[in-house]
Amino acid sequence: MSEIKYQVKMTYDREDIAALVRTMEFRRHPEKNVRMARKIGFPIFGLAIIAAGISLPVLSGPAVSSIVFAVCCALLGVVLIRRSDSRGMERRTWKKYPNKGLEMTYTFYNDHFEEEDEVSGKNDFQYLSIKNGNMDDGHFFLFTTGNMAHMLKKDGFVVGDPASFAKFIHVRAAVTLDPVE
């Protein structure tokens, strides 16, 4: 077995899952203006649709078509409001996260890295499988083929220095870890 270059041991908590949700949102919409427009515009537009849907039966009378239209507008408005609620998405994702309390270990060697936990055992990955990555103040995010996300907590490094990890990944996988804004 070759020499361990980095090793990270961690147990994810609610803040870590929230950071992953924010990173995924950043990856979907890297332009800050688009993210702000969604955060502000979706709730306003959702409320306007709900108001329009409610006003039609009030103004035109309770016809079946106007009631159906009002219900459709209400549902669409709620969907838009929920889509803009990143805190709600973070809470829902944490609630559904199945591995609460599970310790994860990532071990990085010169030619590959391993992910290990009690549930799925040990999984090996080649550095070429890393397609892109991001980092924030407390995490590194590696995205491999098949859209699999690997989240590493910077305070979980037991071997190696997190300050040099981004350069190590850049050399091994030819991927730059872009900062999440």
Asked if pLDDT for residue 165 goes beyond 80, the answer is yes
Q: How far apart are CA 169 and CA 106, in angstroms?
A: 13
**pLDDT digits 0-9 by tens, 21-56:** 888 877 776 555 655 666 666 667 777 777 777 777
CATH T-level assignment (fold) for domain 6-23+97-179 = PH-domain like (2.30.29)
pLDDT digits 0-9 by tens, 52-94: 777 777 777 777 777 787 787 778 777 766 665 566 776 777 7
Residue 166's pLDDT band, with cuts at 50, 70 and 90, is very high
- Parse the chain into domains and list their residue ranges: 6-23+97-179, 30-92
CA distance 140 to 152: 5
Strand ranges inside the chain, DSSP E: 6-11, 103-108, 112-117, 121-126, 130-135, 139-144, 148-153, 157-159, 177-179
- Helix 32-60 × helix 64-83 angle, to 10°: 160
Sorted by sequence, the CB contacts under 8 Å of residue 155 that are 6+ apart come out as 138
What whole-number distance in Å separates Cα of residue 144 and Cα of residue 132? 7
Residue 123: the pLDDT is: 92
pTM of the model: 0.69
The pLDDT of residue 167 is: 96
Q: Can you give the pLDDT at residue 5?
A: 96
